[in-house]
Structure 1
Amino acid sequence: MFIFTLVVLFIFFILYKLLLIVPMREVNVIERLGKFRTVLQPGFHFLIPFFDRVAYRHEIREQVLDVPPQSCISKDNTQLEVDGLVYLKVMDGKLASYGIENYRRAAVNLAQTTMRSEIGKLTLSQTFSERENLNESIVREIDKASDPWGIKVLRYEIRNITPSRKVIHTLEKQMEAERRKRAEITLANAEKAAMINVSEGERQEAINVSQGEKQKRINEAKGTAQEIAIIAKAKSEGMALVSAALALEGGHDAMNMQLKEQFIGQVGKILEKADISIVPAEMAKLEGFFEGMEQVTHGIKANSIKGERS
């Protein structure tokens, strides 16, 4: 019974060494008597017991490796703490086994050195604004160096860029000064625009006032001219009517009567307002006045008759 048990265990051991199932997520590197034989892909395989062995097992899925934080110096001599993530995939199991001792550690160290080198080519502001270009440069350099290792670097992502405390304090002051500068520029532009608007408004107001004054004077001049023309025409028509009335029979006497009435009325107004009394003997001079007025009337009538004949 003991011997049977040993035989069964030996058979199972032989089968364990003979049969190999490679999972879907990995490849196995097989050595025969210490020498590379083949790379087994996922599936069911047979091995020669005691001759063949699985020397290496490699994950063929995409792997994410954490790149620890490290100190870097930018182009403008600013100290930065930078960390990131590197994504890679095993493409050749043989090279990943024999081309490098530990491709994971080598990829992380290469990512660190490449990152320090690339950041040294950029200023502090460029490391923040050109992060995508920086990632592409690091991936390109790592992939070129890791090609003999049988791995493919798919991408690299910078996770954090942390300046030193002194740099952060300086950046905060710079940002505050920049915000203050922009605020002053905005206020200056606003004041400039306000002054321009006020001056434009005053200019337009002065133009409108001058145009209004000009139009007012033109209108007043036209009104005065029309008034003078109307008055002159009225006087002319009045003189013509007076001349026509004097030419009629009894016109002379009517004119004398009208002038006497106007004179008496004006004398009465003067006597009401004057402080000097007129002696009745002075009234005798009124006869001479009326005679003179009669002669003036005869002269106007003679002139009008001559004008009609001519």
Structure 2
Amino acid sequence: MGAALRSFFVPVPHQTVCVLQRFGKYTRTLTPGLNWKIPFVEEIAYEHSLKEQAFMIYAQNAVTKDNVIIQIDGVLYIQVDDPVKCSYGAQKPIDYAQILAQSVMRAEIGKLTLDQTFEEREKMNALILAGLSEAVQEWGLKCLRYEIKDIKVTENIRKAMNMEAEAERTKRTEILHSEAKQQSQINLAEGQRLSKILKAEGLAESIVIRSTATVQRIEAISSAMNSEEGDLAARFNLAEEYLDAFKKLEGKQVLVNSDVNNPKEVIKKALDMVDARLK
């Protein structure tokens, strides 16, 4: 009884489909769950997993646009999208997809230079995926993504690439050094310019302050001379200037009509000169 029931009912696992044929002709697709079939008339011809599957694309030689031979491999991620096409569209659709992936990869590598194959890996993945997706649709497959796994070059090419990279690093270092030196010179010149400007501004401000002080002093003396003790103030101011002039003669050999070592005589001489100028 149990065997008889099993011949009528077909349990299908999750994420799996079965293709049913009647007398060798496609009848329907069995979805996950419990399905029925006519014993001895219908049979399960194909069974497909709807899960994502990864397939290794083994290393192969390819020639870049600048005629460099490289070895490149990758990983192809595909999924059964149409079970009927996958069953009847090709004899071994997944194997064909892997062979096609190798062919498309070689074709795309031939469009790029060696440097571009390393710099534009994401772009290459996208181009290979686009070339595969259109072709495998007829086989009921869907290419989810393609990843280039490794790119290998010969030992001579690797040494040349290392030398080129070292030369590029040296050039960048020299450029940075020259730019830093140039910036340093610019900063130094700017600092000197600002220093001169500040000194000039300080000198101008000092001249203004001295001029203001001189004007205020003259005004004070003029005001004092108009007062009752103005003559005494003028005499004192002129005598003070006379003494300041004598102080500046210290350490110098100058012929004067006074004994500079005798303060009383110097002051008396200064006051006499002041009186002579006021008369």
1:44 equivalenced with 2:35 (yes/no):
yes
Structural mapping, 1:142-157, within 5 Å: 142-157=132-147
Q: Which residue number in structure 1 is paired with residue 83 of structure 2?
A: 93
- The 1:115–1:219 alpha-carbon spacing in structure 2 relative to 1, beyond 3 Å, is same
Matched residues, number: 228
Deviations 1:198-245 (A, max 9, x none): 333444455566677788899999999999xx9xx9xxx89xx9xxxx
Structural mapping, 1:7-22, within 5 Å: 14-22=4-12
Inter-partner Cα distance in structure 2 for 1:223 and 1:54: 116
1:124 equivalenced with 2:109 (yes/no):
no
Inter-partner Cα distance in structure 2 for 1:32 and 1:192: 85
- Give the 3-state SS of the residue equivalent to 1:71 in structure 2: strand
Q: Which residue of 139, 159, 179 maps to 2:149?
A: 159
Deviations 1:52-74 (A, max 9, x none): 22222111211111111112222
Contact 1:20 1:44 in 2 (8 A): yes
The offset of 1:111, in angstroms, is 0.8
Inter-partner Cα distance in structure 2 for 1:153 and 1:224: 95
The offset of 1:47, in angstroms, is 2.5
The offset of 1:80, in angstroms, is 2.2
Structural mapping, 1:176-255, within 5 Å: 176-206=166-196
Letter in 1 for 2:184: A
Contact 1:83 1:159 in 2 (8 A): yes
The offset of 1:183, in angstroms, is 0.8
Q: Which residue of 42, 49, 59 maps to 2:49?
A: 59
Contact 1:66 1:86 in 2 (8 A): yes
Inter-partner Cα distance in structure 2 for 1:123 and 1:71: 15
Contact 1:29 1:94 in 2 (8 A): yes
Q: Which residue number in structure 2 is paired with residue 257 of structure 1?
A: none
Letter in 1 for 2:36: H
Query: Between Structure 1 and Structure 2, which shows a larger proportion of helix residues?
Result: 1
Inter-partner Cα distance in structure 1 for 2:59 and 2:10: 41
Letter in 1 for 2:178: A
Letter in 2 for 1:46: K
The offset of 1:145, in angstroms, is 0.6
Letter in 2 for 1:26: T
- The 1:159–1:217 alpha-carbon spacing in structure 2 relative to 1, beyond 3 Å, is same
Instruction: Structure 1 unaligned segments of length 5 or more: list them.
Output: 1-10, 242-268, 270-303, 305-310
- Give the 3-state SS of the residue equivalent to 2:77 in structure 1: strand
1:71 equivalenced with 2:61 (yes/no):
yes
Inter-partner Cα distance in structure 2 for 1:34 and 1:218: 115
Structure exhibiting the larger radius of gyration computed from Cα positions: 1
Q: What's the RMSD between the two structures over aligned residues?
A: 3.6
Contact 1:20 1:47 in 2 (8 A): no
Structure 1 length-normalised TM:
0.61
- The 1:102–1:205 alpha-carbon spacing in structure 2 relative to 1, beyond 3 Å, is same
Inter-partner Cα distance in structure 1 for 2:212 and 2:134: 96
The offset of 1:113, in angstroms, is 0.8
Structure 2 length-normalised TM:
0.67
- The 1:215–1:17 alpha-carbon spacing in structure 2 relative to 1, beyond 3 Å, is closer
